[in-house]
Structure formats: structure tokens, C-alpha cells
Amino acid sequence: MSELSHFDGAGSPRMVDVSGKRATVRTARAHAFVRMRPDVLARLAENPKGDPLEIARVAGIMAAKRTPGLIPLCHPLMLTHADIEITVEDAGVRIVSSARTEAGTGVEMEALTAAAIAALTVYDMTKALDKSIEIQDLYLLEKTGGKSGDYRRS
């Protein structure tokens, strides 16, 4: 198991110095699920605020680009790609985000932030119909590149 790199020897938080790392292509995909009742799902298309799924897609992409402003010790990265895939299922809305860069550090936090904000946006746009909507299962699906190598959730 590796050391937690966001703390110095005295236990104080610090931003990791990645200046010695070689820039490589790095990708990440993350997942979130918004569980809602079938009657709420059926009314997605008639939302007076607009299409909640398309607005959530744009919100997720914007969130990926703003991750270092939300997560204190994240490095600002020049993303070369960010996207959100949204699928309506019987029990709710499945969100899969993706992020890509060529840098000395990975984009896992950007993908996770994108999925979380897309899910929160779906909630925001449907909460008038049901306050008990749940955001579930936020996790990293996979990442590629970097010193630690590739990861795929089993």
C-alpha cells in the first residue's frame, strides 16, 4: 500500500509536487446513480426548467473543469476531454463520466466530481416532484496512465 501523499512528515496537508513526473495520457471514468420513483422518471421530459438530463450533462462537464476549485489539494489540469453519459433505467438515472488529459497527475477527481455534480443536478431539477430521490454509488470505474498504472473496478 502506498503512502498518503497529501500530508507532510508532520501530518500537515500539502499539495503534492508533481513537477518531477512525466506527462502522460491519463483517463478516468466514474459512476453515480440517481434512484427515483417511476412516476418521477416518467415526468423528466416535461420539466419546466428544461431537460434535466441534458442540463446535468453540461453541469458535469463544467464541474470536471472546476475540480481544483472545489477539492482543495487538486492540481489544475488542462482537460483534453470531459463527457457525461446518462441512461434512464427502471429504477433511476445512471451517470457515467469520463475525463482525459496529458499531464503529470491523474484525472480521477475530475471524473468523480463530474459524476457527482451531474447527479446533484438531476436531483435539483426533480426535487419538486419527490424529495426522497437518492444519489447512490459514486465511485471510480477505471483509470489509465501514470506511475500507479491502470485500474478497473471489478
Residues taking part in catalysis: 124
3-state secondary structure of 9: coil
Which residues, in sequence order, are CB contacts of 105 under 8 Å at separation 6+?
A: 16, 18, 21, 26, 75, 77, 146
Residue 124 contacts residue 133 (beta carbons within 8 Å): no
Half-sphere exposure of 4 (CA within 13 A, CB side): 10
Which residues, in sequence order, are CB contacts of 46 under 8 Å at separation 6+?
A: none
> Closest Cα partner for 130 from 47, 28, 71, 27?
47
What is the Cα–Cα distance from 131 to 6, expressed in whole angstroms? 37
